[in-house]
Structure 1
Amino acid sequence: MPMTTLAAVAALTLAGASACGGGGGETTGATGGTALYDRLPDAIKEAGVIRFAGDSHPPYRIVANDGKTVTGIDKEMQDALGKVLGVRTEISIVNGLPAALSGMLASRYDAFNGPVKDTAEREKQFDAIVWMVSRTSYLIPKSGSAAVKSAGDLCGKRVAGTAGSIVEDQTKRLSDWCAKQGKPAIVFIGLADTNGTILAAKSGRADAAGMTESGAIDAMNKEKDAFTYVTQSDEQGAGIDQLAMLVPKAGGLGPVMLEAFKEIFKNGEYQRIVDKYGLKNVAVDEPKLNTAAVR
């Protein structure tokens, strides 16, 4: 169906387009209707699709062997958002956070669902819709000899994590805590995605793999008895990071996406996804826009 026809159908009937593949990403049909469609930027209405960037990050984005088919939290969250907005959503797999950010600024993608930390610096270029929080955990191979029983035992160890992510920032805070205890610093190994960090820990290149707690639980469920994990404490600099979907300010999509999130909170889709993936400990009561600048 031509893009102009698709946009017209969405505008007049707000009926869903059936899911289809292609374009390097996973697409999903949007069904149902909403006045939010009229508030979407013209470029998105003309295309009939919101293009998400996403790296491999289980259980948020689980990428099949074809490199295109995506399942997981992000896929379901984007399905729900697309439904209330009246447009399709599409995920294109990229190589880490820097590629997602630069791709959005170059107008190749419309949004990135993270989980990525909401910061004042990022809010200069992106609208940030906070939809969850996180604490960093560290996945430990049971077969290793690192003898890590708590996050404090990571002092002087090698920790793999996604470069430029929350994990890198929180590992630095943990390393600062180590120094205050008179212990050696942590050696951070920055990699492209979560799969790479898990492989680094399994192969012995790293003693641990840093990730969100939900990511650590997912990895443990996939490989029974292969891992354990420890979680960073407030004393060790963890705090609670606000995690957001990032949308370029220039496109004008951010405020509309905030309203779409509010709608999936109201209609129960957010809670359904939270319950399905065991995200109760990191769920929020309501979505918020650009919280970092006012903290």
Structure 2
Amino acid sequence: MRMPRTILAGAAALALAGVAACGGGDGETQRPAGATALYDALPDGIKEAGVIRFAGDSHPPYRIVANDGKTVTGIDKELQDALGKVLGVRTEISIVSGLPAALSGMLASRYDAFNGPVKDSAEREKQFDALVWMVTRTSYLIPKAGSSAVKSSGDLCGKRVAGTAGSIVEDQAKRLTEWCAKQGKPGLDFIGFADTNGTILAAKSGRADAAGMTESAALDVLSKEKDAFTYVTQTEEQGAGVDQLAMLVPKSSGLGPVMLDAFKEIFKNGEYKKIMDKYGLQSVAVPEPKMNTAATQ
């Protein structure tokens, strides 16, 4: 049965109207239902993609990578989901081999952000906006088999300490080395690895006397391997607790200011506190998020 031309013409007009309503004819991005002012402030590229792409290495409990090498749980996943919700876009994490891969990947526009935990520094702020959302205290896992000589962080002077290369832990180890020198003792022999898993294996195998990491990461390891390690925490006298940890986004992307507003929103709505409390991070939480603090110090 042939349909009358008037009906066909009407159907065609409705179809064209639908295309125009979606903005498809001009290549515009359809605005999600219920989108907020934060969504409107996002860079056009992210609105078009509908997703913020995070780089991330394996770093429990921040990023716990499943055996498939893709599925990620932990602090970062929950924090990024909370940010994505107030921004009105999805978030996803791609696993990379360490900090250098994350930084170069962002500068090459493969990723939009990296959540560290990474130190906010004036040097990094030349290329990245740094969204500070916590501070840090470094702890050192000590294999129980060789722990008799290490009862406090001061006993690490002259010891081999494994840590993630280029991380905040490496900076903290340098401060501890400076403290050791003031005591007339040899400094730490820092051994850099690509990720936290590598540092733990180095300590287990005897290639290092200790594995340095954030205190939250150390507590996570101890909860799973209580019989394998003890741990000590660096003191404020030794330089701990002064470094601010940040999410990095390339300055050229324009994402930094709107991401700061998103952080402010999850502080305001309680999601930040909920996540920090869940993972026992109350001692390193901050009262408010800030951006690019190093350049102003």
TM-score clears 0.5: yes
* 1:217-265 deviation digits (Å, cap 9, x = unpaired): 0000011232111111122222421000000000000000000001111
- Please state whether the residue corresponding to 2:141 is helix, strand or coil: strand
Aligned counterpart in structure 2 of residue 207 of structure 1, from 198, 206, 209 = 209
Inter-partner Cα distance in structure 2 for 1:145 and 1:166: 24
Aligned counterpart in structure 2 of residue 104 of structure 1, from 94, 103, 106 = 106
Aligned ranges 1:65-144 → 2 under 5 Å: 65-144=67-146
* 1:272-291 deviation digits (Å, cap 9, x = unpaired): 10111001000111100111
**Which AA in structure 2 matches 1:53?**
A
Most deviating of 140-149 and 92-101: 140-149
Q: How many residue pairs end up in the alignment?
A: 272
Inter-partner Cα distance in structure 1 for 2:64 and 2:261: 27
* Residue 236 (structure 2) pairs with residue 234 (structure 1): yes
**% same residue:** 83
The aligned residue for residue 163 of structure 2 is: 161
C-alpha root-mean-square deviation of aligned residues, in Å? 1.4
The aligned residue for residue 192 of structure 1 is: 194
* Residue 33 (structure 2) pairs with residue 13 (structure 1): yes
Preserved contact between residue 134 and residue 282 of structure 1 (Cα < 8 Å): yes
Unaligned 5+ segments in structure 1 are 15-32
**Which AA in structure 1 matches 2:68?**
D
**Which AA in structure 1 matches 2:232?**
V
**Structure 1 pair 145/278, CA: closer, same or farther in 2 (3 Å)?**
closer
The aligned residue for residue 61 of structure 1 is: 63
**Which AA in structure 1 matches 2:190?**
F
Unaligned 5+ segments in structure 2 are 1-22
The aligned residue for residue 248 of structure 2 is: 246
Preserved contact between residue 147 and residue 230 of structure 2 (Cα < 8 Å): no
**Which AA in structure 1 matches 2:207?**
R
**Which AA in structure 1 matches 2:181?**
A
* 1:103 Cα deviation after fit: 0.5
The aligned residue for residue 277 of structure 1 is: 279
* 1:177 Cα deviation after fit: 1.5
* 1:145 Cα deviation after fit: 4.9
Inter-partner Cα distance in structure 2 for 1:163 and 1:83: 33
Inter-partner Cα distance in structure 1 for 2:148 and 2:182: 21
Inter-partner Cα distance in structure 1 for 2:280 and 2:45: 36
- Please state whether the residue corresponding to 1:258 is helix, strand or coil: helix
Inter-partner Cα distance in structure 1 for 2:101 and 2:32: 36
Segments ≥4 residues shifted beyond 6 Å: none
The aligned residue for residue 25 of structure 1 is: none
- Please state whether the residue corresponding to 1:115 is helix, strand or coil: strand
Inter-partner Cα distance in structure 1 for 2:79 and 2:236: 29
The aligned residue for residue 28 of structure 1 is: none
Preserved contact between residue 146 and residue 207 of structure 1 (Cα < 8 Å): no
**Structure 1 pair 273/239, CA: closer, same or farther in 2 (3 Å)?**
closer
Which protein has the bigger helix share?
A: 2
* 1:40 Cα deviation after fit: 0.3
Structure showing greater Rg: 2
The aligned residue for residue 13 of structure 2 is: none
- Please state whether the residue corresponding to 1:235 is helix, strand or coil: helix
The aligned residue for residue 293 of structure 1 is: 295
Inter-partner Cα distance in structure 2 for 1:236 and 1:87: 42
* 1:59 Cα deviation after fit: 0.2
The aligned residue for residue 149 of structure 1 is: 151
- Please state whether the residue corresponding to 2:223 is helix, strand or coil: helix
- Please state whether the residue corresponding to 1:221 is helix, strand or coil: helix
Aligned counterpart in structure 1 of residue 38 of structure 2, from 33, 36, 39 = 36
Preserved contact between residue 52 and residue 92 of structure 2 (Cα < 8 Å): yes
- Please state whether the residue corresponding to 2:248 is helix, strand or coil: strand
| TM-score under structure 2 length normalisation | 0.89
* 1:90-112 deviation digits (Å, cap 9, x = unpaired): 10000110110111011110000
- Please state whether the residue corresponding to 1:108 is helix, strand or coil: coil
